[in-house]
């Protein structure tokens, strides 16, 4: 197969980057305490080589899987690319995983060693004491033996190595380089197998989608364990030879000044960020920035979107995709018309369709499941690790990926998201979109955020329950909210139950974890 990836791997890409733009800034990192480090492409490639050499000395085999649990930081990227250079596989562990979740991922991936930062040492010490991770634990982001608690100190091991790669292992784009777990907001997470080809493809696709060039500066606060960070920010920066700015910890009061200070031209945003930014005091200079687009899929109301764009003078680029789809397959085009609340048109290199429950393709304006077509191992995932059944259910032999979400498209080919398939409520024969109800609730002046689920109902299959986070200082009157819903939606959609919450359980990418609400 010959495609845009060619024979490129992450290893060969980094060798080119070091040669072609060695003294250009690649990575600007601001840690949670405000400290800033800057690495050129040459400097970071040397760090990658040292890390690869450390893993070689530790006896990491071709194809071996290594767990990495860290916040977004240089050491995470050193592990990701260092392991890739020697044909090994990084398994990022979600920042919020607890022991049972870690053990589940370690067992599924048959992992025998891990690299973690100090805040996870106790957790992994308990896992190791239970018989897992026989090849040991390395502790990054510290030089303090007390914090390492008897485990090897990552920086000491890496700094002792040469900046020239000690062994050139034969690699192809078809080799797996990472297992990226889905967020698991509605079910147990699955380990998505990503190849070198997947990673390189995601870079070129993201460059087209955002019109990214070498002069761009991408700012993100996304967690490193998430595809938003890796496939929509990191790899496009690499293939464009651009500069990446990582702020380890999001702060609503500081974010917009960081956008301006670092002269970001692109930045990533989720709904929680948009809403908290709008709560900040207005700065007369806040529209004096270099940002041209805020990325990506934002489940916010038209009122919120318009207010944000007007205040900050920046467009929101709306998209839709998943870890499994590699690229954000439905997207606002990089130039020209956009059609909010559409999630866009089909991106370059993909096809898309809507199907009914029997797999039949539906025409325009009919709601069904979103399916996208690509090439496994390039524009789509290779599969799920250790789960052939789930792979077969999600990915057909001819390259159609079932997204598991409901949507439709109009006569002009613009797609519209309706809801996660698992979030659809069946009520007395009616299909109800939780996203639609959440959107209506979000328009109420006393509601900051809402989450809707289905709960068992002996007579009508399911009833609608709404969880509401009030605006600061607001008082929620449940009867008033129900009456508001009656006036703004069909009767069968009106929530039967309202519960007021102080906050929502969230994933590390700030999505509401609805499975915990159930």
User: What CATH number corresponds to the domain at position 144?
Assistant: 3.40.50.980
Cα of 483 vs its chain's centroid, Å: 37
User: Across the chain, how many H-helices and E-strands are there?
Assistant: 17, 27
Segment 208-227 shows an average pLDDT of 95
Q: Are residues 230 and 371 in the same domain?
A: no
Parallel/antiparallel/unpaired status of strands 217-220 and 176-181: unpaired
Q: Are residues 443 and 481 in the same domain?
A: yes
Q: Are residues 415 and 431 in the same domain?
A: no
Whether the CB-CB separation of 198 and 378 falls below 8 Å is answered with yes
Poorest-pLDDT segment among 33-42, 93-102, 421-430, 459-468:
421-430
Mean pLDDT of the chain: 92
Give me the residue label for tokens 């956008």: 259
Is 468 part of a structural domain of the chain? yes
* Residue numbers of the domain that contains 408: 348-419
Q: Are residues 124 and 68 in the same domain?
A: yes
Of 161, 252, 164, the closest CA to residue 510 belongs to: 252
Q: What is the pTM of this model?
A: 0.85
Cis peptide before 447 (omega within 30 of 0): no
Q: Are residues 415 and 438 in the same domain?
A: no
The span from the CA of 466 to the CA of 476, in Å, is 12
Q: Are residues 168 and 202 in the same domain?
A: yes
Segment 328-356 shows an average pLDDT of 94
Is 318 part of a structural domain of the chain? no
H-helix or E-strand spanning residue 311: helix 302-312
Residues of the chain with pLDDT > 70: what percent?
Answer: 96
Residue 186 has pLDDT above 60, yes or no: no
Q: Are residues 432 and 411 in the same domain?
A: no
Segment 179-204 shows an average pLDDT of 85
Q: Are residues 88 and 141 in the same domain?
A: yes
In 170-289, beta strands by DSSP E: 176-181, 191-195, 217-220, 243-247, 266-268
> How many distinct structural domains can be found in the chain?
3
Residues of the chain with pLDDT > 90: what percent?
Answer: 77
Whether the CB-CB separation of 254 and 220 falls below 8 Å is answered with no
């Amino acid at each position: 197969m010959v495609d845009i990836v060619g024979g490129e791997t992450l290893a060969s890409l980094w060798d080119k980057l070091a040669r072609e733009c060695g003294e250009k800034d690649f990575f600007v990192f601001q840690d949670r305490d405000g400290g800033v480090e800057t690495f050129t492409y040459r400097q970071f490639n040397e760090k990658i080589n040292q890390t690869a050499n450390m893993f070689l000395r530790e006896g990491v085999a071709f194809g071996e899987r290594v767990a990495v649990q860290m916040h977004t930081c240089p050491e995470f990227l050193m592990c990701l690319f260092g392991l890739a250079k020697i044909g090994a596989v990084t398994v990022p562990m979600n920042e919020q995983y607890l022991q049972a979740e870690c053990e589940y991922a370690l067992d599924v991936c048959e992992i025998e060693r891990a690299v973690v930062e100090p805040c996870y040492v106790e957790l992994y010490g308990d896992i190791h004491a239970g018989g897992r991770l026989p090849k040991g634990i390395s502790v990054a982001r510290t030089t303090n033996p007390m914090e390492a608690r008897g485990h090897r100190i990552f920086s000491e091991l890496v700094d002792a190595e040469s900046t020239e790669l000690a062994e050139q292992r034969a690699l192809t784009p078809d080799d797996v380089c990472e297992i990226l777990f889905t967020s698991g907001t509605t079910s147990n997470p699955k380990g998505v197998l990503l190849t070198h080809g997947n990673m390189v493809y995601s870079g070129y696709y993201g460059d087209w989608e955002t019109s990214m060039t070498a002069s761009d500066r991408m700012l993100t606060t996304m967690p490193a364990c998430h595809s938003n960070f890796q496939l929509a920010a990191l790899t496009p920066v690499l293939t464009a030879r651009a500069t990446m700015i990582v702020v380890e910890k999001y702060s609503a009061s500081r974010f917009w000044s960081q956008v301006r200070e670092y002269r970001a031209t692109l930045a990533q945003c989720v709904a929680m960020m948009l809403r908290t930014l709008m709560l900040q005091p207005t700065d007369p200079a806040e529209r004096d920035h270099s940002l041209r687009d805020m990325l990506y899929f934002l489940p916010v109301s038209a009122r919120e979107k318009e207010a944000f764009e007007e205040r900050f003078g920046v467009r929101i680029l709306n998209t839709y995709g998943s870890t499994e789809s590699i690229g954000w397959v439905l997207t606002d085009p990089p130039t020209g018309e956009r059609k909010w609340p559409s999630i866009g048109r089909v991106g370059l290199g993909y096809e898309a369709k809507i199907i009914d429950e029997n797999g039949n393709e539906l025409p325009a304006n009919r709601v069904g499941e979103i399916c996208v077509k690509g090439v496994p191992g390039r524009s789509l995932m290779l599969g799920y690790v250790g789960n052939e059944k789930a792979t077969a259910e999600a990915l057909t032999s001819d390259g159609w990926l079932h997204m598991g979400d409901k949507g439709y498209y109009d006569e002009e080919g613009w797609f519209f998201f309706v809801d996660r398939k698992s979030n659809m409520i069946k009520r007395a024969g009616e299909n109800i979109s939780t996203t639609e109800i959440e959107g209506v609730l979000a328009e109420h002046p006393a509601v900051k955020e809402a989450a809707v689920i289905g709960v068992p109902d002996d007579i009508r299959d399911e009833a609608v329950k709404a969880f509401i986070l009030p605006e600061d200082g607001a008082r929620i009157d449940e009867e008033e909210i129900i009456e508001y819903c009656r006036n703004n939606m069909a009767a069968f959609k009106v929530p039967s139950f309202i519960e007021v919450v102080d906050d929502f359980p969230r994933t590390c990418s700030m999505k509401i974890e609805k499975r915990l609400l159930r």
